[in-house]
Amino acid sequence: MTTDDVNVGRRRFLLGATSVVGAAGAAGIAVPFVASWSPSEKAKSAGASVKFNYSKMEPGALAVVEWRREPIYVVRRTKEALALLEKIPAENLKDAASANIDQQPEYAQNTHRSKNPEFLVIKAVCTHLGCAPKYRPEVGSEGLGKDWVGGFFCPCHGSRFDLSGRVMAGSPAGANLAVPPYKFDGDAIIIGEDEGTAS
């Protein structure tokens, strides 16, 4: 074996080794770089939809679901509560039309403010100063007035909302409780997606 043979073999070995190390280094740099283009877990959770299974909810029950770091109330209304909603006089509502003041989706512009009268899905954030209204479904609850037929009461400044989230007359809040986009999927409500949104 000559010196030239050893040098050629060594060159090939060094060239191969350098190529492998260079490729590994390039991959080590490229993977985090490409990954940085993807949205973070925080960003994904901020915009992601959430699925809530309502099959075990009893009539009259309330569940709290978190979506985009906001509490969402899901209420399974009783037949009695639905009947009372229909009887609330327009003068008892701050916004009699209850459709235009809060620019809500079309399915939230009816008396029930929902796609299915049995279920109410609303943001649990008072439209006055952002407090969390309390669920007060009892008819004639003490301190809420003789016209109280159940709904939500904000203890911060006294705003009252019916069981459709409509703001009652005399409340400091100027708008109805907001309805998030949602759709039904079997025994689940998917909050954050509408029927027109791709699943």
Q: Collapsing DSSP states into helix, strand and coil, what is residue 96?
A: coil
Tell me whether residue 27 is exposed, middle or buried, using C-beta atoms within 10 angstroms of its C-beta: 0 to 12, 13 to 18, 19 or more.
exposed
Residue 3 pLDDT greater than 60, yes or no = no
Radius of gyration over every alpha carbon of the chain, rounded to an integer in angstroms: 29
pLDDT over 90, % of the chain? 41
Buried b (16+ CB within 10 A) or exposed e, 73-99: bbbbbbeebeebbeebeeebbbbeebe
81 near 154, Cβ under 8 Å? no
Residue 71 pLDDT greater than 90, yes or no = yes
Residue 198 pLDDT greater than 50, yes or no = no
77 near 83, Cβ under 8 Å? no
Alpha-carbon distances, residue 97 vs 18, 100, 159 (angstroms): 75, 7, 18
Among the residue ranges 71-75, 129-133, 151-155, the one predicted with the least confidence is 129-133
